[in-house]
Structure 1
Amino acid sequence: MRLGLRSLESRMVMLLGFAGVSGALIYAGVSQWPLPQILVWMRQEGIDLGTPAHFGFYGGILVSMAFLLPLSLWLGHRVMSPVTRLLRALEGAVASYRDGDFSFSIAATRRDELGELIRMHNALGQTLREQRQNLTQRELLLDTVVQNTPVALVLTDASGRVTYANIAARHLFNDGRTLHGLNFAELISDSPEALRRAVEGGEDALLTVEMDGGEETFHLSQRNFRLQGRPHRLQLFRRMTRELSRQEVATWKRVIRVISHELNNSLAPISSLAHSGAELARRGDTARLPGVFATIGERARHLHGFIAGYASFAKLPAPQPSSIDWKPFLENLSLHCKFQLRGSLPEQPGWFDAAQIEQVLINLVKNAHESGGAEDEVSISLTVVSRDVRIEVADRGPGMSETVLAQALLPFYSTKRSGTGLGLALAREIAEAHGGRIALANREEGGLRVSLLLPLGPRADR
């Protein structure tokens, strides 16, 4: 900071210099001239004030201090007065900021360091006011969005009382009336049991309840967090009935399209062959009839297998897990499909339904061989991860695009012209029935990796 002649430091130096010069002059006037000469003249004139005609060193110091003390007090007051006023103003400003009032400004026209500090303080207040205004506008926008969202939002404090609820929550739980200050547990005491249990469970849930003479499906999300240092709980109730209905209709349409396509592919040839067989029989050309009947039988068997595949997906039995020794299980699997075993086998035995998991791995290895990569690059590896075992089936094919990866596990989704879209969906269904999961990912060096995660033992939460 540049210091001009009117800076606080220069003024203080000038006042201290003035005090020093004044002290020296007073001491000289008391001890040297003119006070000693005046006292001698007064005595010659017969005026005796009872004071010595000449002050010594200590006497001069005492007389000088008698004059300098009031002068020092006055000069100190002149120096510290603006600083004291500024400190008081800053104290009031800090108190206002603490109370959330940023409208406080200090009026001053000083051109020294204190004036610069005042200008910086006023600039800070202006910045805080602008930020407060922007924050208020954002809070207003956020509150408008939250209030008008169709998702019912309820925020409760540590005692379970509602501190915030949007319009959807008020209509869902209190006929449009405010929920603020109400005990949420008491509020939902008359709600369907499934809803109460889901809220008390404290976990995310998908539940269906009887409401307004029909069934409503909700997705419940619950989170604990600290707001202004105090524990709070946020609960979001999202109506899923319409969305699930749309998804259900879309799924049924997809199923109908797939089944219609497959039925047409089989029934059209069967109808044509039946007509040809009748014509051959009418003409007495029986030599060609066995071929016609064989083709009809092949198309009928294909159609039967297609329908059986859908039936097996719809009627998948509950798994019967048991302890599985890895070596004989993989040796038996190798009789059905070809693969390379990477790494060592886990010491812990597996815990799953051998028939179902074997079918899953057969389908996965078959898909790996059909990916277009080298056959000797199709591999299976097993890794223990905490209390689970991860079975990975990998290949060196082209992998999958992001779009296909996102939908490959959905029922009836297939990129093959003759595919039913049930293979990976069935694998996912079996994995989840075992308390595990399945995931697909492209390999960095090229190819696809399908990970099947299964528990190593029975779990109490399944």
Structure 2
Amino acid sequence: MFAMKRTAPTERWLVGSALIALFPVSGIALALVWFAAFPEKIRWTVTAAVIGANLWFVHYLTETFVTRLRNVSSLLFSMIEGDYSRQMRSVESSQSLNEIVKNLNALSRKLSSEHTGTFESHALLEKVLDQVDVAMFAFDDQTRLRWSNRSGTALIGTSANRGKSAEELGLASFLAGEVPRVGEAAVAGKRRRWQIRRTPFREEGRPHILLLLSDLTEPLRREERDAWQRLLKVLRHEISNAVTPIASLVDTLPRIIQRPEKNPDWQEDLIEGLAIIRSRTAMLVTLMKRHRSIAGPSRPKLKMIEVAKQIRLVAAAESRIAVRLEPGPEVRLPADPEMLDQVLVNLVDNAVESALLGDGGVILRWQAFPSRGLFELEILDSGPGIANPEHLFVPFYTTKPDGNGIGLVLSRQIAEAHGGALSLHNREDASGARAILQLPLVPLRDPPIPSG
């Protein structure tokens, strides 16, 4: 229908143009026949022949060119409809029309190839998204569900829910608020902890929203369970080391006292056994104190301090080696002086102990980044480096004979309680370790409560 409406005026124009072009020749021929002394029969025969020739020529012209144009229109209409399988035959009688046909056939093949590639890419993307363990939903501008991956479909029920609104699916709350964020919400009757992300996109010119929901409940529980297991393993080892000798002595000492015939040195054995019990009991008390400290420091009492001055004091107090300072700017920032001093002492002490195993060098340098609102202290040592970086912040883990395994953990908790961060890495420019302490230059409205 589309092609017919477009070609009918073209046909009339082409027929009219052909008749106008033939009129002078035909008119002259007929005038010569009718005004010359020809018999009547010849006049009518020639007239019929001229008219017939004109009609045949017009018919041929129409069938040849208009049919080709209709085929071109039909091919274009097929491509508009997404059918790229059709091809036109060459037109040897018209070079111009043949060029058009060749270009249209080439365009059809190119579109067919791109359509196939797009379809295959889309199918691959669908398979990949179905394997992702994140629920994904696409909503249109009316917040109606248009697509979901396998995880999303499993979360809301069946694919029959497509077309329903976010309100009906219980997902409306996820389409509002800041992202990314983590929050608890009930979906399909199950209350879980979600990481929520959104991103806008357009399809066929209309705005859509892609919603991504990651279920954090199981990973968080698994991480919490693993943390408890690690802690219990350490506590079990520490308590076993303390209690085993006590249990043995509690069983042995009464026998020494109850013997009818006592050894001359039985009193010394008794005193020695009680001393061991006292020592192991003190170890348990120390263990409990360590456990309380690792549960996290209290909220920092912030006040503006001269952090560079505090760094110099800690460096000057070190007597084992000379700590080298590379002074930075004089900076005032909000911090708890006692807590910050504890962090600085821990970090410098670790660096010095490590440097004593190397060539004895420790460097402290600092700088401020006002545009980022950040102060950064760098502590470099020339020791052997970090052998087990994955255990750096594991509670009670230590490689020192007299270490308690809580210094770095506590230091990081204090840094985070100030809204900062603490990280340790092996140096890339030389042997040794590099500790970076970052603190905010501006006070936090509500300093975070350290996690326990």
**Matches of residues 299-338 of structure 1 in structure 2 within 5 Å?**
299-334=280-315, 337=318
Cα contact 2:193–2:217 (8 A) shared by 1: yes
| In 1, Cα distance between equivalents of 2:404 and 2:202 | 49
Aligned to 2:17: none
1:206 to 182, 199, 214: 182
Aligned to 2:336: 353
Aligned to 2:323: 340
Post-superposition CA distance 1:369-428 (Å, at most 9, x none): 344653642232222122011122222234347xx54x3465448463867654433333
Would the alpha carbon gap of residues 214 and 400 (structure 1) be closer, same or farther in structure 2, given more than 3 Å must change?
same
| In 1, Cα distance between equivalents of 2:187 and 2:91 | 70
**Matches of residues 49-68 of structure 1 in structure 2 within 5 Å?**
none
- 2:192 paired with 1:216: yes
Aligned to 2:88: 106
- 2:435 paired with 1:450: yes
**Matches of residues 221-232 of structure 1 in structure 2 within 5 Å?**
221-225=197-201, 231-232=207-208
Would the alpha carbon gap of residues 438 and 99 (structure 1) be closer, same or farther in structure 2, given more than 3 Å must change?
farther
2:212 to 228, 232, 236: 236
**Matches of residues 383-394 of structure 1 in structure 2 within 5 Å?**
383-385=367-369, 386-394=372-380
Alignment length (residue pairs): 375
Would the alpha carbon gap of residues 171 and 288 (structure 1) be closer, same or farther in structure 2, given more than 3 Å must change?
closer
- 2:357 paired with 1:377: no
- 2:419 paired with 1:435: yes
Cα contact 1:340–1:376 (8 A) shared by 2: no
1:283 to 263, 280, 283: 263
SS of 1:367's equivalent? helix
SS of 2:85's equivalent? coil
| In 1, Cα distance between equivalents of 2:246 and 2:317 | 32
Long gaps (5+) in structure 1: 1-73
Matched-pair identity in %: 27
**Structure 1 position 242, deviation (Å):** 2.4
Would the alpha carbon gap of residues 409 and 278 (structure 1) be closer, same or farther in structure 2, given more than 3 Å must change?
same
**Structure 1 position 259, deviation (Å):** 0.9
| In 1, Cα distance between equivalents of 2:376 and 2:248 | 50
| In 2, Cα distance between equivalents of 1:453 and 1:218 | 29
Post-superposition CA distance 1:143-196 (Å, at most 9, x none): 3453575532222345644443345445645786424362x3x447x77xxx93
TM-score, normalised by the number of residues in structure 2 = 0.66
Paired residue type of 1:139: H
Paired residue type of 1:267: V
Would the alpha carbon gap of residues 88 and 303 (structure 1) be closer, same or farther in structure 2, given more than 3 Å must change?
farther
**Structure 1 position 311, deviation (Å):** 1.6
TM-score, normalised by the number of residues in structure 1 = 0.65
**Structure 1 position 114, deviation (Å):** 8.5
| In 2, Cα distance between equivalents of 1:90 and 1:461 | 72
Would the alpha carbon gap of residues 209 and 325 (structure 1) be closer, same or farther in structure 2, given more than 3 Å must change?
same
Paired residue type of 2:305: I
**Structure 1 position 312, deviation (Å):** 1.4
Aligned to 1:61: none
- 2:126 paired with 1:143: yes
Higher relative contact order (CA 8 A, sep 6+): 2
| In 2, Cα distance between equivalents of 1:160 and 1:110 | 56
Long gaps (5+) in structure 2: 1-56, 448-452
**Structure 1 position 335, deviation (Å):** 6.3
SS of 1:356's equivalent? helix
Would the alpha carbon gap of residues 293 and 461 (structure 1) be closer, same or farther in structure 2, given more than 3 Å must change?
closer
**Matches of residues 185-200 of structure 1 in structure 2 within 5 Å?**
186-187=167-168, 196=173, 200=176
- 2:410 paired with 1:426: yes
Would the alpha carbon gap of residues 324 and 317 (structure 1) be closer, same or farther in structure 2, given more than 3 Å must change?
same
SS of 1:221's equivalent? strand
Cα contact 2:304–2:334 (8 A) shared by 1: yes
Would the alpha carbon gap of residues 180 and 280 (structure 1) be closer, same or farther in structure 2, given more than 3 Å must change?
same
**Structure 1 position 117, deviation (Å):** 8.4
Post-superposition CA distance 1:306-361 (Å, at most 9, x none): 33222212243122222111244224433665673543243331212222232233
Post-superposition CA distance 1:28-54 (Å, at most 9, x none): xxxxxxxxxxxxxxxxxxxxxxxxxxx
RMSD over aligned Cα atoms? 4.4
SS of 1:201's equivalent? coil
